[in-house]
Structure 1
């Protein structure tokens, strides 16, 4: 079902009432500081004209986004990216935390205007919402306990208990259709015993306690846990395991805001050209050596290929 179809009943009710457009019709009913998002009839208006743009993020992901300090503020690569975009495009932001499972829903329900949360661009997701071009790329991988010497290659996961986050690209329930679900289920092997939790932080904690044998998701997400406190002494990434094709992270935005999405693309390109390297070095210092840009930064051609089909163009 498209985003437009999901929003149709509210629009029909407003028209049927033959009354002036109410706050519920033109503001989307959001109770966040941003005042909600535009209705379908106003979808051409810019979200950046609002008093504040509501941005959904994921905390508890070292390197990308964590909350700490006396003010309990967000810090990480995606926080710095958001700040750069806010400065470049010119908008004020309000952020709140969501689990992976809620990323599409929060856009469709108009609870957020943007999602910047290690959000992999996929065809299934692109049918519901729009994406910008990418700002990060990574293969998938496996995290194990620090002293584990049994899991060194993919076949070693047979019979093992493996955790991932609900709603992620590692969760068969995140896609529709038996073929797509089967493809995800078989990525680790048919004999793996999967389990799903609300977020990767919970998975990593349970791995450290011995409730799981491994955690499966994007390798860069796992590297964040493996190289930062308080997890670095408990877990490690299995270097020789790379699963499936590369994942590309983009910014999620509700359908009907193509002009806003293209403005974000322009700001993203500037960020990649001028600030990406420094930001990565700051938040992933243990990985910022050798050919790390080739490994994790979308190339100019990759960016342009995705830009051509981004923002609803597909």
Structure 2
């Protein structure tokens, strides 16, 4: 008798469990374009103006705005997004392993990277540039860095490009992060900082830095930022491209550029043509 009662109770619990699961799945699917309840998106956590994790745990930046807009067009609300920190060296691995659905993280489109991942976009055309003190008018071109102190992060290809091709006598100082370079620039320990102009503008636009620095306005390279996704996922790529085109056409793209880079007087390029 006890065995029969236990069996009946177990069966009832199983039926109830299946019913709850079915109801839960339906609720989670509602509104999402691909049937998933959440979407994991890779961004940078340490790039002001592009991808930054704020002290209160929220996220800000142009890449965050782009990713949020794209996710919305795919059927996800802001609360459905799981932001994942995406270091540059781990981007391809995180896509291949399925840790993220796509990555929006100052991810320049290159032929080498396209061997491993696909790209939607581009959504921003950046250029390598120099950031100097606002009152320093001695640096107007890369050659002016000869015999001056140039700062960048350890392993930066941007700084090496200048040393190799444009200012071989520049005194290159390498630090662990751009914030250290900014401190050195403010304190006159270095004369210039180099990386993509979008990254430089993001730092210069921070409240504590406004008015202290200026971008020289050089275009030392072309960096087309794309949204990285798993190679061969043509369906998702097409949907993201459609979302990016809409973001440009409805004015949201320019609004995000102005909000995130405007305080640095960043002279951005027009929105690049999104690939079909």
Same structural fold, with TM-score higher than 0.5 when normalized by the shorter chain: yes
Match of 1:67 among 53, 58, 63: 53
Change (3 A) 1:279 1:213: same
Which residue of the partner structure matches residue 129 of structure 1? 117
Change (3 A) 1:208 1:113: farther
Maintained 8 Å contact 2:202/2:264: no
Work out which of the two has the higher radius of gyration on C-alpha atoms and give 1 or 2: 2
Change (3 A) 1:272 1:125: same
Which residue of the partner structure matches residue 192 of structure 2? 214
- Output the CA distance in 1 between the equivalents of 2:113 and 2:240: 19
Q: What displacement does 1:138 show? A: 2.2
Maintained 8 Å contact 2:122/2:225: yes
Which residue of the partner structure matches residue 74 of structure 2? 89
- Output the CA distance in 1 between the equivalents of 2:235 and 2:154: 32
Which residue of the partner structure matches residue 157 of structure 1? 145
Q: How does 1:253-292 map to 2 (within 5 A)?
A: 253-274=229-250, 275-286=252-263
Deviations 1:202-260 (A, max 9, x none): 43334334454321112232122223321224422123x3213x221111112132211
Change (3 A) 1:218 1:93: same
Which residue of the partner structure matches residue 80 of structure 1? 65
Maintained 8 Å contact 2:151/2:159: no
Deviations 1:287-313 (A, max 9, x none): 789xx67x2421xxx32xxx24xxxxx
Residue 120 in 1 paired to residue 133 in 2? no
Maintained 8 Å contact 1:99/1:198: no
Q: What displacement does 1:159 show? A: 3.5
Deviations 1:263-295 (A, max 9, x none): 111111111111212222322334789xx67x2
Which residue of the partner structure matches residue 297 of structure 1? 271
Maintained 8 Å contact 1:101/1:167: no
Which residue of the partner structure matches residue 22 of structure 1? none
TM-score, normalised relative to structure 1: 0.66
Ranges in structure 1 where 5+ consecutive residues have no aligned partner? 1-45, 173-182, 309-314
| Matched residue SS, 1:261 | helix
TM-score, normalised relative to structure 2: 0.74
- Say how many residue pairs are matched: 241
Q: How does 1:11-30 map to 2 (within 5 A)?
A: none
Deviations 1:115-162 (A, max 9, x none): 111111111221221111211112221012334343222111124343
Ranges in structure 2 where 5+ consecutive residues have no aligned partner? 1-31
Maintained 8 Å contact 2:210/2:263: no
Maintained 8 Å contact 1:170/1:216: yes
Which residue of the partner structure matches residue 94 of structure 2? 106
| Matched residue SS, 2:47 | coil
Change (3 A) 1:105 1:64: same
